[in-house]
Amino acid sequence: MEVLFDSLGLSEEILKAVTEMGFTKPSPIQAEAIPSLLEGRDVLGQAQTGTGKTAAFGIPALEKVDISDKRTQVLMLCPTRELAVQVTEELRRIAKYKKGLKLETVYGGDSIERQIRSLKIGAQIVVGTPGRVMDLIERKALKLDFVNYVVLDEADEMLDMGFREDIDTILESVPDERQTVLFSATMSKPIMGIAQKFQEDPVQIKITRKEVTNENIEQTYFEVKQRGKIEVTCRVLDAYDLKQVIIFCNTKRKVDEVTEELSSKGYSVESLHGDLRQTQRNQVMAKFRSGAANILVATDVAARGIDVSGIDAVINFDLPLDEEYYVHRIGRTGRAGLTGKALTLVAKDEKYRLRQIETYTKVKIDKGVIPTFEDIVGVRKARFISQVEEAVSTGDLDLYEDMLGMLHHTTGFTTEQIVAALVKINMGVQKSEFADNDLAWDADRDRRPSERGFEKRGRFEDRGGRGEERGSGRFGDRGGDRGGDRGPKRNEPGMVRLFVSVGRKDRVQPRDIVGAIAGEAGIPGRVIGSIDIFDAYSFVDVPERDARKVVEAMSGNTIKGKMVNIEVAR
């Protein structure tokens, strides 16, 4: 039997807003979660971005809030400020006709004084990141005594960013008589541990992998030499005539490089990463949603929570650092029954990671053929012909009919030369430094012995040496405060020790370092190794393959509000 929103027993205000948003039928997770949450049950849901989970936990929260009581009754935790803002915006749309409701978003990077003032006025629903929520609790600005509904959104990401202790502290500060809603992309042991500790007989909901790797998404990869990725990106954008695209990179520096290169070639492009202030992020997303910019280049962390409909394609400029990230990325296209494309550029040393993604998603990704320069010229010629036909059909050419004669007279060129020059100017395509045979790598030719063994070796190393060889484990060696200067030696095979210019005197804890590195460098927190914290500095172990990325990403960034310097320990 088909479930409709008007059969879920929602209030008139909520139903009116949802209908105006164009929704009549709830998504699978909404259809399962909303009735249980309205009944007062706890819910444990496994779902990705784009499945409609915000409305799944948001609609019951809005229905349960007592508008006459200005005290905080609902607390929602999100891993990043982008997702927190996205959740708040969605809730505002759903609560459009619920007069007297006050929502507040709290996160680092925004004025804590302004947030404190807003909380004093009163906010029934608070959406925030764990770190800022903890700060506000410690300042006694956020009181949780009357909270009866708590949501952990993308809980796995919060754990990867080192927020486990904060989550425990926050949940222990909320009254026992409450509903606890937990959504996560994966159901790992730590996630199940939180559920067992803080939930009571939860209703378990799972979106299957078949639904996650949408059948409406055409998945293709291209074997590309690393230095030819920009050229191939341009050719793919032109060949597929893509109107709205997200390009994913693994680091902020690469986001800036790709954005600058595409912009210099005439593409309408914006970037999104951790260095942007919130006002800048809002401006970027407004341009992308309105079509003022049709290409968005982003890191995984910065793109968390972005929900834009009508995306034609996702381009993986860099292969993601984690198989789950691939699923998150491609899930941004092919929504609402529309078709989408996931196009992945694979350098030779990334091939083994592509195989890991195929194994994880249980989907065979087709190998694509890089469009040739002649292909692109042909595409742009056809586009130009269409533009000429449209211009002629709309008329108003009399102002320009004398131009051909003027050009003949002033330049002496033939009609053919003039038309060819105008076409060239309009098309804007120029032959690059790359010949077609310089772009793709040959998987079987001239492979050195070291390369033949790389894929097998890399399969273990890419996971940061997880397992028994990790030695100290996920958190086991992170306490710092162990006395004695151990010095900057490497603790584990395949790991590099980095020097961090903050320590105990800066009130830095292991989770602060993990959260900063995971958030800024875009690597999973679980691959970060030992952390030793001393009075004035700290040491942290990261996988050797990620060391340079971490150093570059953290350049000019802060930990606990203090500017930090990170470099390979000597």
- Write down the CATH number for the domain with range 5-207: 3.40.50.300
Global pTM? 0.50
Distance CA 4, CA 365 (A): 35
Rounded distance between C-alpha atoms, residue 291 and residue 521, angstroms: 28
The structure tokens listed for 125 are 């629903």
Q: What is the arithmetic mean of pLDDT over 358-368?
A: 87
- Number of other residues whose CB lies within 10 A of the CB of residue 399: 7
CATH superfamily placement of domain 459-568 = RRM (RNA recognition motif) domain (3.30.70.330)
Average pLDDT over residues 331-345: 81
List the structure tokens of 469: 């060889």
Other CB atoms closer than 10 Å to residue 237's CB: what's the count? 23
Give the CA distances from residue 556 to residues 283, 297, 466, in Å, rounded to whole numbers and listed in that order: 23, 21, 30
Q: Which amino acid is at 496?
A: V
Residue among 155, 163, 133 at smallest CA distance from 47: 155
Dist CA 421 CA 362 (whole Å): 50
Fold of 211-371: Rossmann fold (3.40.50)
350-359, 422-431, 514-523: lowest mean pLDDT where? Answer: 422-431
Query: Which residues of the chain does CATH 3.40.50.300 include?
Result: 5-207, 211-371
- Give per-residue pLDDT as tens, 435-475: 555 677 654 443 333 333 333 333 323 333 333 222 333 33
Tens digit of each residue's pLDDT (9 = 90 or more) over 470-517: 233 333 333 333 333 334 344 567 788 999 999 888 888 888 898 888
Q: Per-residue b/e over 201-234, b at no fewer than 16 CB within 10 Å?
A: ebbebebeeebbbbeebbbbbbbbbeebbbbbbb
Q: Give 451's contacts (C-beta < 8 A, 6+ positions apart).
A: 348
Every domain of the chain with CATH number 3.30.70.330 lies at 459-568
Which contacts qualify for 272-277: CB closer than 8 Å, 24 or more apart? 272/296, 272/297, 272/298, 272/299, 272/302, 272/303, 272/306, 273/298, 273/299, 273/302, 274/299, 274/301, 274/302, 274/519, 274/520, 274/553, 274/557, 275/556, 275/557, 276/302, 277/109
Six-digit token pair at 84?
Answer: 């927190």
Report the alpha-carbon distance of residue 124 to residue 104 in Å, rounded: 8
Q: Give the pLDDT band of residue 430 (cuts 50, 70, 90).
A: low
Burial (Cβ within 10 Å: 0-12, 13-18, ≥19) of residue 170: buried
Closest CA to 90 of 126, 52, 37: 52
| Lowest mean per-residue pLDDT among 133-147, 244-258, 350-364 | 350-364
**Can you tell me the distance from the alpha carbon of 503 to that of 498, in angstroms, rounded to the nearest whole number?**
13
Distance (Å, rounded) from C-alpha 134 to C-alpha 142?
A: 9
